[in-house]
Chains A and B, each alone.
Chain A
Amino acid sequence: MHEVSLIYEVLVHVEQASRQEGMDKVTTIKLTIGNQMMVMPEALQFAFDTLRKEPAAEAELKWEIVEGNDFYIDYIEGEEASD
């Protein structure tokens, strides 16, 4: 159930990064998740669907499970601001 706290943090970092980089709309968020983080991807997706907001309101969440206890945002993709 800590997936909710984790997704909240993901959205904070994504919002900051997209603003700094002049990205209007985030289309993809890619996470790398250590198998020791006891994170359940379905619960993560559920938390994301509940908490998602601009600029990542329509983003697709992707993840890769790796060995260890890392949990980081690998990259984001999106559309640049038009102005």
Chain B
Amino acid sequence: MTKHIPMKQDVLQTNKTYAEQNRTRFYDENIFTINLISSPGSGKTSVLEKTIEHLKTFMNIGVIEGDVATDLDAARIAKHNVKAVQINTHGACHLDAKMVAGVLSRFPLNEIDLMVIENVGNLVCPAAFDLGEHVDVALLSTTEGVDKVVKYPTVFEKADVILLNKIDLLPYVGFDLKQFRDDVQQLNPDAPIFELSAHNGEGIGRWTKWLKESWVAQTQVKDFDWT
């Protein structure tokens, strides 16, 4: 006999359960966590290196590096005397919350203030997987072209903050900054935008100031002395 079973089963329920566990763990340890999403080659790791240099005297930083293959990025980050753990997805185009949960024990979590999860370079798939982060950071670079915001809207729509990297190349690449700001404003009016260059350091200070303030706002840490 034919049987009909109504399910209404959320396909990503397992991921969401792990993500909530990660989020609780981060909260309990006073860790502010960001999920950094961009396409390959936009400068995620370079921006992160500059960010670490700005922040490491104030905060202890941990980095989870997601890549399809190699530990090149974790090695780059480790040179800054920051704990970095590499996850290789062996073909998968995104990190999921279970992969992140699996590496947390490799960090001294009680010592960490800021956890950066650098997702696999991809503007589509990572947007579907909550990792337990506090904020999503979408990064675009001027060399990719301004049209990527509207061509890959979900990442920019869901992001809590948007970074534009490689602004030192603006005179050479014909990137329409006004169009970029207008498109982002249209999709996601509440997200702050930081325009910066990992190459010459321009704009990094404004971005790291936002990170420090968000750490205080999102965790139980209050009245931190930044001087």
In this assembly, does B21 line the interface, its C-beta being within 8 Å of a C-beta of chain A?
Answer: no
On chain A, the residues within 8 Å of B125 by CB distance are: 1-2, 38
On chain B, the residues within 8 Å of A50 by CB distance are: none
Q: Residue among B1, B7, B157 with the most chain A CB within 10 A?
A: B7
Q: How far is the CA of A71 from the CA of B125 in the complex (A)?
A: 14
In this assembly, does B188 line the interface, its C-beta being within 8 Å of a C-beta of chain A?
Answer: no
**For window 1-49 of chain A, which residues contact chain B by CB distance below 8 Å?**
1-2, 4-6, 9-10, 12-13, 17-18, 21, 23, 27, 31, 36-39
A10 touches B11 (CB 8 A): yes
On chain A, the residues within 8 Å of B15 by CB distance are: 9
A79 touches B124 (CB 8 A): no
From the candidates B1, B3, B6, B12, name the one contacting A9 in the complex (CB within 8 A).
Answer: B12
Q: How far is the CA of A16 from the CA of B129 in the complex (A)?
A: 22
From the candidates A5, A21, A70, A71, name the one contacting B5 in the complex (CB within 8 A).
Answer: A21
Q: How far is the CA of A18 from the CA of B9 in the complex (A)?
A: 13
Produce 1/0 per residue, A39-76, CB < 8 A to B: 10000000000000000000000000000011111111
Nearest Cβ distance between residue B186 and chain A, in whole angstroms?
A: 16
Q: Total A-B residue pairs with C-beta atoms closer than 8 Å?
A: 86
A71 touches B11 (CB 8 A): yes
On chain A, the residues within 8 Å of B1 by CB distance are: 79-80
In this assembly, does B93 line the interface, its C-beta being within 8 Å of a C-beta of chain A?
Answer: yes
Nearest Cβ distance between residue B174 and chain A, in whole angstroms?
A: 28
**For window 130-172 of chain B, which residues contact chain A by CB distance below 8 Å?**
154, 157
A13 touches B9 (CB 8 A): yes
From the candidates B14, B128, B157, name the one contacting A2 in the complex (CB within 8 A).
Answer: B128
Produce 1/0 per residue, B1-33, CB < 8 A to A: 111111111111111000000000000000000
Q: How far is the CA of A83 from the CA of B8 in the complex (A)?
A: 28
B6 touches A75 (CB 8 A): yes
On whether A75 and B124 interact (CB within 8 A), knowing A2-B93, A5-B94, A27-B2, the answer reads no
On whether A75 and B3 interact (CB within 8 A), knowing A2-B124, A5-B96, A9-B12, the answer reads no
In this assembly, does B114 line the interface, its C-beta being within 8 Å of a C-beta of chain A?
Answer: no
Nearest Cβ distance between residue A8 and chain B, in whole angstroms?
A: 10
From the candidates B3, B7, B93, B129, name the one contacting A1 in the complex (CB within 8 A).
Answer: B93
Nearest-CB residue, chain A, relative to B126 = A2
**For window 91-136 of chain B, which residues contact chain A by CB distance below 8 Å?**
92-94, 96, 124-125, 127-129
Nearest 7 A/B pairs, CB to CB: A2-B125, A1-B93, A73-B9, A73-B7, A75-B6, A71-B11, A13-B9
